[in-house]
Amino acid sequence: MAGTTSTPRGLDGVVAAQTKLSHVDGQNGVLIIAGYELKELAGKVTFEEAAHLLWKGHLPSKEEAAALTHEIAELREIPATTLAVLRAAKNAPPIDALRMACATLSLDLKDPNDISPAADFQSAKMLVARFPTIVAAHTRLATGQEPIAPRKDLSLAANFLYMVNGTEPDPIGARALDTYWVVVMDHGMNASTFASRVIASTRSDMVSALTGGIGALKGPLHGGAPGPVLDMLLDIKTAENAEPWVRNELTAGRRIMGFGHRVYKVRDPRAEVLAKVADEMTHARLEDHSLFELARTVEGTVLRVLDEVKPGRNLKTNVEFYTALVLQSLGLKPTTFVALFACGRAAGWCAHVIEQHAEDHLIRPQSEYIGPKGLVVGK
């Protein structure tokens, strides 16, 4: 009888693949990236070095790091067709513009359908190099400005800030963005990574796989809503308002942004790293620290009230909460936050595509039919 089997909703608890790339320990709040706990990488290696770790299985030597950084820098410029798409999509949300633009990036590949290890590695470098260029160009086009050509003498993060602002990038800001991208670069079998692997499992190419990954990331249940975290803090205004505001939201049945996670039952380790980044950044730049202090107070209040109102739910701080503080402190608009997330996650998507192509096995789960049977036409 339909419905009698215990099919897990959303494949909850089902192991869909074996991977050497990352492991999420939701019970203990630990994220392992290719053997390293996140705290061992974030702020200690560059995004390019962390990408090498995912793609090649080890952290690069100085020579390997320099070569990869140079190769990525050489690939940053986007094709004319891609720029034309961004001009046409200047009023679209940045994540939509990135999805549309990504699909054009196979146009200047020698063989877009080549999925050999060498071709995949080259595509990975190209995609990671061009995603920030796309987001920066769209950011300027959306505000009536002309895109700025990328520079090759800057790191990926520093060059992004240069292409957005047109001024020499702040080293502290560039380091914060670089750390953010390392923090979000891979996170187990999340929806966008799974989507990318399913596409790759058909022997489709990396550009197609990442285009699908962006489509999955766009959904608010996955890409999240770091922008509304800022709205929440601005709405609360003061520490004294935090508790009544939170209780009112919960009474109205609304979600508190930046809290709760599908996997983590303790504080998201990515939030731990980004909280330190936000704190260090605002102190080092001698800017108004009040928003960060308010965020800390709000975080403590929310956690206390959630434990009281929703006991046993283990709704703890997630990566969205401090993402909002880090990215807004760089002068970036909340509308760009999900696209910036994709710039970091692209390294992980590419690594999973490489791994899936090596596995060379079609992902084809079964479904449980629960519809009617025996219907006859005309009756």
* CATH superfamily for domain 39-222+341-359: Citrate Synthase, domain 1 (1.10.580.10)
Amino acid 284: pLDDT: 65
Amino acid 91: pLDDT: 97
**pLDDT exceeds 70 at position 169:** yes
pLDDT bucket at 258, cuts 50 / 70 / 90: confident
Amino acid 379: pLDDT: 61
Q: Which residues pair with 25 in a beta bridge?
A: 30
320 catalytic per annotation: yes
Common-topology check for domains 39-222+341-359 and 226-329: no
Domain 226-329 annotated CATH 1.10.230.10 = yes
Amino acid 3: pLDDT: 47
- pLDDT tens figures, 72-108: 999 999 999 999 999 999 999 999 999 999 999 999 8
Return mean pLDDT, the chain: 92
Both tokens of residue 247?
């209780």
Q: Which residues pair with 45 in a beta bridge?
A: 42
Domain range summary for the chain, segments of one domain joined by +: 39-222+341-359, 226-329
- CA torsion sign for 214, 220, 223, 227 is positive
- pLDDT tens figures, 34-43: 999 999 999 9
Lowest mean pLDDT among 12-16, 301-305, 345-349: 12-16
Distance CA 78, CA 66 (A): 22
Amino acid 291: pLDDT: 85
261 catalytic per annotation: yes
Among residues of the chain, what percentage have pLDDT more than 70? 96
Q: Of the listed 52, 138, 187, 261, which one is catalytic?
A: 261
- pLDDT tens figures, 183-221: 999 999 999 999 999 999 999 999 999 999 999 999 988
Task: Tell me the average pLDDT across 308-313.
Answer: 90
Amino acid 35: pLDDT: 96
Q: Which residues pair with 42 in a beta bridge?
A: 45
Amino acid 5: pLDDT: 55
Q: Of the listed 52, 320, 355, 357, which one is catalytic?
A: 320
Q: What is the CA radius of gyration of the chain?
A: 22
Nearest alpha-carbon partner for 97 in 82, 110, 86, 81? 86
pLDDT bucket at 298, cuts 50 / 70 / 90: very high
3-state helix vs strand vs coil in the chain, percent to 5: 60, 5, 40
More confident residue, 26 or 180: 180
Amino acid 225: pLDDT: 63
- pLDDT tens figures, 317-337: 988 899 988 998 899 999 999
**pLDDT exceeds 80 at position 141:** yes
Task: Tell me the average pLDDT across 52-74.
Answer: 97
- pLDDT tens figures, 143-159: 999 999 999 999 999 99
8 Å CB contact between 102 and 207 = yes
